[in-house]
Amino acid sequence: MVAMSGGVDSSVAAALMKEEGHEVVGVTLRLWGGESDSGCCAISDVDDARRVCDALNIEHHVFNMSDEFDHHVVDPYVSSHATGLTPNPCIECNRHIKFDLLHHRVQALGFDRLATGHHARIASQPDGTYRLARAIDSSKDQTYVLYMLDQSKLATLDLPIGDLTKDQVRDLATQLDLRTATKPDSQDVCFITREHGRDDFLRKRIPLTPGRVINTEGIEVGSVEAVEMVTIGQRKGMATAGGTNPRYAINVDVPNATVTVGTPEDLLVESTSVKDCVWANQLTNGPVLVQISAHGKPMKATLKDNTVYWEEPQRRVAPGQAVVFYDNDEVLGGGMAC
């Protein structure tokens, strides 16, 4: 089974699996039933996936998982904002939908393996286990949002385009005359429209609370329109009075509708606590490389008992964001900042 989003990456993944001699069936997940003009949930994406399957002469099916998507992705996204966390819905979609519910569907329907168009690789270890490894194309690497893949998932997963650059993927799609060859990559959260944005989406679902802004001495220096919309490290969107130096959100207290701002130096921490860790094989302690955003620079640290001790002070990671641990280019595991 090849998970096909309607983009060029999954289109080429399906073509490569068929070229290897596998019996391939393409499956597209119908996830978001609301308004969408971005991401991978639009009706046009389903049609693109179907027409690519027609061109490759393989079966195509659509699985409706919109209720599950609402429960595991959209609802937690909203509740995270309501409690002052910074969510990553793409990670939760991978965790609960693509590599849990879909993984079970693969097994239930009698498929041997699942393939996706993610830019990542799977590396075999000397002891017979597997690790997720960075893609050849570092600019497109997606290991950060796939850190939750454990041995049971990695053992039956194929990532056919992990050894290709994005240009090579598009060249192959062009050679095969696939309609997705020049289709732009999805960039945004699929259930947030460009026209209305995050503010409008949340305002329809939770009350947004005006808040006060204070400095590190507790003096009120400004206001925010909605405290639920502020994240650690944010600079814009806060009406602060006085001073010429930039000020950043260093703490968000939703229950008390208060945002604390400070200097870039006030954002720096020597350690970061992580919870809900998932490991590729076994719990890790010791030197690691740590990545705290999808395309962030890996930073040296020491991991001990789910606490990251930075080699050099780093900006505080927003609670709710993923913290992913690497051994060179291979993923050891990851968790959520708290």
At 20, is the secondary structure helix, strand, or coil? coil
For residues 113, 117, 121, 126, the Cα torsion angle rounded to the nearest 10 degrees is 0
Structure tokens at 18: 């068929």
Q: Which secondary-structure segment (H or E) carries 331?
A: strand 330-337
Indicate which residue of 40, 93, 277, 338 is catalytic: 93
Helix 43-56, helix 8-19: angle, nearest 10? 20
Please report, in angstroms and rounded to a whole number, the separation of the first and last CA atoms in the chain.
Answer: 36
User: 190 catalytic, yes or no?
Assistant: yes
Cα-based torsion angle of the residue sequence 160, 162, 167, 170 in order, rounded to the nearest 10 degrees: 20
Q: Give the active site residue among 40, 90, 190, 277.
A: 190
Asked if 330 contacts 289 with a C-beta cutoff of 8 angstroms, the reply is no
CA dihedral 15, 19, 23, 24 (to 10 degrees): -10
For tokens 């490759």, the residue is 56
- The question of whether 41 is a catalytic residue gets the answer no
Catalytic residue positions?
93, 190
